[in-house]
């Protein structure tokens, strides 16, 4: 697998900017600060901003590192000067209406911008438009997500050669993560939601895998400290318990998501059957990942299938702490649109969607599955290719 530092072609950046301009309505333009959005629309995630007017070329202004941004972005790059001159530098008219990423922009930054641009400038939230644009991938992006899936397959498959009774979760996690990093994984997984962060993945055994946490995920894990209370910890892996291996692969910033269950020996029959039920639910969901379908319909199908098979109290978590979704978009961030939950997101061709029906048994463990699918005109393609049955070591 070839590893390289990939830059974005000008045609890719121009197409993204045009999509945002087409969605601006009555806005004068949008000013974007968040690093992932900045990288998506400019080709560099160096500290700064991009102003995208409703018509005309964008203005990319970088504070640090200007030199590196000029190497990375296909756009013309200017230094970001004092905030006091920003209105003039962007040539904003009086009474301008500006879109901002109000889902992630800190209030202090907003207040400073308001003071800088003047009381006559009106702000509105453009984050929903951005998230919907980013949910549909280009051929360039799909190529990187395919590579991320291959890296992910290799990392998870490495568990079979290293899983030993008595080893700590964190020791096994190091094997998975080092395998992926040597293949090009950047070592972090971007999350958009406030107060949410992820390690490279969740690898937990037995009861610790079913321990809840604050993270927006069906699984939590104890983790290694109260300030990052999720993911692998110091628990030792036992014979006959499920080992959850849930990781995000990454290639040049783009993600794929996959979960497989490992076990030393055999699982209790109850968990074996629950895993088979999860496989059936994933197959049912994947069959609905077609253009024109709505997330709410697919979510309802998942819930109905779980209840029909008797798993309504375990699918996605116990009743008091269910995840509230059974799938999510993946791309530059792990929590992209569409959300396969009780929302009305429309499924569109070239979305990349992770489907993750998991059965969670407090005090016992987690079984289930997760795969990343590409939505095609004629149906879904599974990008994560590992065998889906429980891996017995």
Taking residues 151-162, report their average pLDDT.
Answer: 98
Token pair recorded at residue 359: 């059965």
Q: What is the pLDDT of residue 78?
A: 97
Q: What is the Cα–Cα distance from 2 to 148, expressed in whole angstroms?
A: 12
Instruction: Give the three-state DSSP class for 264.
Output: coil
The enclosing H or E element of 131 equals: helix 127-135
Is the pLDDT score of 82 beyond 90? no
Q: What is the Cα–Cα distance from 76 to 69, expressed in whole angstroms?
A: 10
Sheet of strand 327-329, all strands in order from the earlier edge strand to the far edge = 336-340, 327-329, 352-355, 371-376, 379-382
Q: What is the pLDDT of residue 36?
A: 98
For the stretch 86-98, what's the b/e string if a residue is b when 16 or more beta carbons lie within 10 angstroms of its beta carbon? Answer: bbebbebeeebbb
The position carrying tokens 């990375």 is 72
Token pair recorded at residue 40: 């998506």
Token pair recorded at residue 77: 């790059």
CB 354 within 8 A of CB 370: yes
The enclosing H or E element of 35 equals: helix 35-42
> Tens digit of pLDDT for each residue in 204-258?
999 999 999 888 899 999 999 999 999 999 999 999 999 999 999 999 999 999 9
Residue 320 — very low, low, confident or very high, per pLDDT cuts 50/70/90? confident
DSSP letters, 145-167, are HHHHHHHHHHHHHTHHHH--TT-
Nearest to 16 by CA among 47, 34, 38, 33: 38
CB 344 within 8 A of CB 295: yes
Is the pLDDT score of 165 beyond 80? yes
- Phi (first) and psi of residue 280, to 5 degrees: -65, -40
For the stretch 250-286, what's the b/e string if a residue is b when 16 or more beta carbons lie within 10 angstroms of its beta carbon? Answer: bbbbbbbbbbbbbbbeebeeebbbbbebbbebbebbb
Angle at Cα 207 formed by Cα 201 and Cα 208, nearest 5°? 40
Q: What is the pLDDT of residue 335?
A: 97
What structural domains and CATH numbers belong to the chain?
10-133 (3.40.350.10), 136-392 (3.90.230.10)
The strand pair at 77-79 and 59-64 is best described as parallel
Is the pLDDT score of 84 beyond 90? no
> Tens digit of pLDDT for each residue in 357-367?
999 999 999 99
How many helices (H) and strands (E) the chain has is answered by: 11, 17
The position carrying tokens 């891996």 is 391
Taking residues 43-54, report their average pLDDT.
Answer: 98
CB 329 within 8 A of CB 336: yes
Token pair recorded at residue 246: 């849930």
Which residues are paired to 219 by β-bridges?
none
Q: How many CB atoms lie within 10 A of CB 187?
A: 10
Is the pLDDT score of 373 beyond 90? yes
Sheet of strand 77-79, all strands in order from the earlier edge strand to the far edge = 77-79, 59-64, 47-53, 29-32, 97-100, 122-125
Residue 319 — very low, low, confident or very high, per pLDDT cuts 50/70/90? confident
State the greatest distance between any 2 C-alpha atoms of the chain, in Å, as a whole number: 71
Q: What is the pLDDT of residue 223?
A: 94
> Tens digit of pLDDT for each residue in 95-129?
999 999 999 999 999 999 999 999 999 999 999 99
Is the pLDDT score of 1 beyond 80? no
175-180 CB contacts, 8 Å cutoff, 24+ apart: 176/200, 176/201, 176/203, 176/245, 176/247, 177/201, 179/154, 179/155, 180/151, 180/152, 180/154, 180/155, 180/247, 180/249, 180/250
């Amino acid at each position: 697998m070839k590893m390289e530092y990939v830059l974005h072609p000008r045609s890719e950046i121009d197409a993204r900017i045009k999509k945002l301009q087409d969605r601006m309505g009555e806005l004068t333009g949008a000013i974007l600060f968040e690093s992932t959005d900045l990288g998506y629309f400019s080709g560099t995630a160096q500290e700064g901003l991009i102003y995208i007017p409703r018509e005309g070329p964008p203005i990319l202004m970088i504070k640090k590192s200007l030199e590196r941004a000029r190497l990375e972005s296909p756009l013309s790059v200017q230094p970001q000067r004092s905030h006091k001159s920003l209105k003039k530098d962007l040539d904003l008219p009086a009474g301008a209406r500006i879109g901002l990423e109000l889902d992630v922009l800190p209030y202090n930054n907003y207040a400073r911008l308001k003071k800088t641009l003047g009381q006559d400038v009106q702000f509105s939230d453009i984050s929903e438009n951005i998230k919907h644009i980013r949910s549909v991938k280009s051929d360039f992006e799909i190529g990187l997500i395919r590579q991320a899936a291959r890296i992910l397959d290799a990392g998870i498959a490495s568990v079979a050669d290293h899983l030993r009774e008595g080893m700590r979760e964190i020791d096994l996690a190091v094997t998975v993560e080092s395998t992926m990093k040597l293949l090009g994984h950047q070592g972090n997984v971007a999350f958009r939601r406030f107060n949410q962060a992820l390690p490279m993945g969740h690898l937990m055994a037995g009861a610790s895998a079913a321990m809840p946490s604050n993270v927006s995920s069906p699984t939590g894990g104890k983790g290694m400290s109260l300030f990052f209370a999720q993911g692998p910890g110091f628990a030792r892996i036992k014979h006959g318990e499920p080992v959850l291996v849930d990781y995000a692969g990454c290639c040049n910033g783009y993600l794929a998501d996959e979960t497989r269950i490992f076990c030393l020996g055999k699982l209790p029959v109850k968990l074996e059957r629950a895993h088979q039920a999860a496989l059936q639910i994933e197959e049912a969901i994947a069959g609905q990942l077609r253009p024109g379908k709505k997330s709410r319909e697919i979510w309802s199908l998942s819930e109905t299938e779980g209840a029909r098979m008797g798993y309504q109290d375990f699918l996605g978590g116990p009743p008091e702490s269910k995840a509230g979704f059974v799938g999510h978009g993946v791309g530059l961030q792990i929590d992209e649109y569409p959300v396969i939950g009780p929302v009305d997101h429309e499924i569109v061709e070239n979305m990349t969607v992770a489907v993750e029906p998991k059965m969670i048994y407090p005090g016992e463990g987690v079984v289930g599955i997760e795969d990343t699918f590409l939505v095609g005109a004629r149906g879904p393609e599974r990008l994560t290719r590992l065998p889906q049955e429980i891996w017995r070591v």
